[in-house]
Structure 1
């Protein structure tokens, strides 16, 4: 049963869409085998300890920090929220 402006099944569709987005984001972050020892952004050498701790790492610590800050701003927003859920 839907309430407010949501159609029947709208809440479940929103949950499914949010879950699908989270799965897609997680898959995009999976590390693929990296055959180089250099950061793909700045070209600096990635320390051996970091490469051993995170197999397939492609970014140095500094570049990874920048990427994490950019992604944090995006993740907190529910793009698929209905008007009804935003008014509560």
Structure 2
């Protein structure tokens, strides 16, 4: 059987892992992407507002998503 101490330590570890996942998700949301797409085109201001971490222009992103969908 587990002692009260073991249970408390386990609960603390679960909470620490949960908080780490929350912190990582928040950091990902606030991460900024680039001003220029991989193809060299400028990423539109509207796309940057909607998806700040964008690394591709809308046209390139559509191509990548279509290719992934067709696989």
TM-score normalized with structure 2 length: 0.52
Flag structure 1 segments of 5+ consecutive residues without an equivalent.
1-29, 75-88
Q: How does 1:7-22 map to 2 (within 5 A)?
A: none
More RCO (CA 8 Å, sep 6+): 1
Higher helix share: 2
CA RMSD of aligned residues (A): 1.9
Aligned to 1:37: 35
Larger Rg: 2
Count of aligned pairs between the two proteins? 43
Structure 1 residue 73: deviation in Å? 1.6
Structure 1 residue 72: deviation in Å? 0.3
Alignment deviations for residues 10-45 of structure 1 (CA, whole Å, 9 cap, x no partner): xxxxxxxxxxxxxxxxxxxx77531x31002x1100
